[in-house]
């Protein structure tokens, strides 16, 4: 099996054209896309993973961890729902920021339905107001999801829901906890009911359209977030350079962590290489689970000044390179 055979899934168009051959597709099949939008740290990635039933998007306490559109897939009854976890919407300052925000709004514009996820603890702040101000431009059915409801009193939830619906009327409002799953089943059924009639876009057992090599890079990037609390994670990126399936069924993976300065490289390596070993060990366990194979992971750290201004890095992340 070649590297491309190992990790490249079908595109929606290709899958759709062959839908009649997809096993398990019912006669009354429905399928479509749902975009999850919101400000950073609203819980979109946690909700995506909960709805899909497995990890397809990285989760971190740090904001702006999702950089590109991450798609997760679940089936409810005869409906196949493709969820698009978008980067958090915020006021962009750098070129990478602008690319992430553009990616988020483009994901909303292309979906069959749009879900605005709001952290109920924070309520309506300036960032949420900015999203509400632009949400009217999106000509799709919109649903409101209040997340982290287990952390605030119910009367505050009702007031918040009323305030948000007054600002931008939503077709339906859901109150959930993405972390513990409260209310998520009702949301899953509601999203499935909104999907248009049509053949399934992906095989029944596929949970994401991200190639394994991209997911592997994202897992390693998450472990960098977990272990380093400086500004560094925002100035680093990870690329999978090699994905080699060996004769014994194991996978040899080589990845490069790019940073912008030699001082950052020293931080990632750690004293005596302890930090990079810790990152690699944690990433290898999760990558092996995703690949369903034994993994040999080799990490390299390289300095590439101004990588955030390199169009090739944006293509690797699935982002459009913003000019100017």
What DSSP character marks residue 109? H
Match 């960032």 to its residue by tokens: 127
Q: What is the DSSP string of 13-34?
A: HHHHHTGGGSTT--TT-EEEEE
Sequence-distant (≥ 6) Cβ neighbours of residue 76 within 8 angstroms: 188, 189, 191, 192
Match 């493709």 to its residue by tokens: 82
Over 187-227, what HEC string results?
HHHHHHHCCCECCCCCCCCCCECCCHHHHHHHHHHHHHHHH
Crossing angle for the helix pair 44-52 and 184-193, to the nearest 10 degrees: 80
Query: What is the C-alpha to C-alpha distance for residues 187 and 43, in angstroms, rounded to an integer?
Result: 15
Detail the residues annotated as belonging to a binding site: 38-45, 85-89, 147-150
Detail the residues annotated as belonging to a binding site for GTP: 38-45, 85-89, 147-150
Phi, psi of 83 (to 5 degrees): -90, 135
Cα-only R_g, the chain: 20
Give the pair of three-digit tokens for residue 241. 């350079």
Q: What is the DSSP string of 281-318?
A: HHHHHHHHHHHTS-EEEEEEEEE-TTGGG-HHHHHHHT
């Amino acid at each position: 099996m070649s590297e491309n055979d190992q990790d490249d899934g079908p595109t929606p168009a290709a899958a759709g054209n062959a839908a009649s051959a997809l096993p398990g597709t019912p006669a009354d099949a429905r399928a479509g896309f749902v975009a999850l939008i919101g400000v950073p740290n609203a819980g979109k990635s946690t909700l995506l993973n909960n709805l899909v039933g497995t990890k397809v998007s990285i989760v971190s306490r740090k904001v702006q961890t999702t950089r590109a559109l991450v798609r997760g897939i679940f089936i409810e009854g005869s409906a196949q729902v493709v969820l698009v976890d978008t980067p958090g919407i915020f006021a962009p300052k750098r070129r990478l920021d602008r690319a992430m925000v553009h990616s988020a709004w483009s994901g909303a514009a292309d979906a069959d339905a749009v879900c605005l996820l709001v952290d109920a603890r924070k309520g309506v702040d300036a960032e949420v107001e900015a999203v509400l101000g632009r949400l009217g431009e999106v000509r799709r059915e919109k649903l409101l999801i209040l997340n982290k409801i287990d952390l605030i009193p119910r009367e505050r939830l009702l007031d918040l829901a009323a305030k948000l619906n007054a600002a931008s009327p939503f077709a339906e409002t859901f109150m959930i906890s993405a972390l513990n799953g409260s209310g998520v089943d009702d949301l899953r059924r509601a999203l499935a009911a909104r999907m248009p009639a049509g053949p399934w876009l992906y095989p029944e057992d596929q949970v994401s359209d991200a190639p394994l090599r991209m997911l592997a890079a994202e897992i390693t990037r998450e472990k960098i977030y977990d272990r380093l609390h400086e500004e560094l994670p925002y100035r680093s990126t990870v690329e999978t350079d090699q994905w080699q399936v060996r004769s014994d069924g194991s996978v040899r993976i080589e990845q490069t962590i790019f940073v912008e300065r030699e001082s950052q490289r020293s931080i990632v390596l750690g004293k005596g290489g302890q930090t990079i070993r810790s990152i690699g060990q944690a990433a290898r366990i999760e990558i092996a689970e995703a690949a369903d194979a034994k993994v040999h992971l080799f990490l390299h750290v390289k300095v590439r000044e101004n990588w955030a201004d390199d169009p090739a890095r944006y293509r690797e992340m699935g982002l459009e390179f913003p000019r100017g």
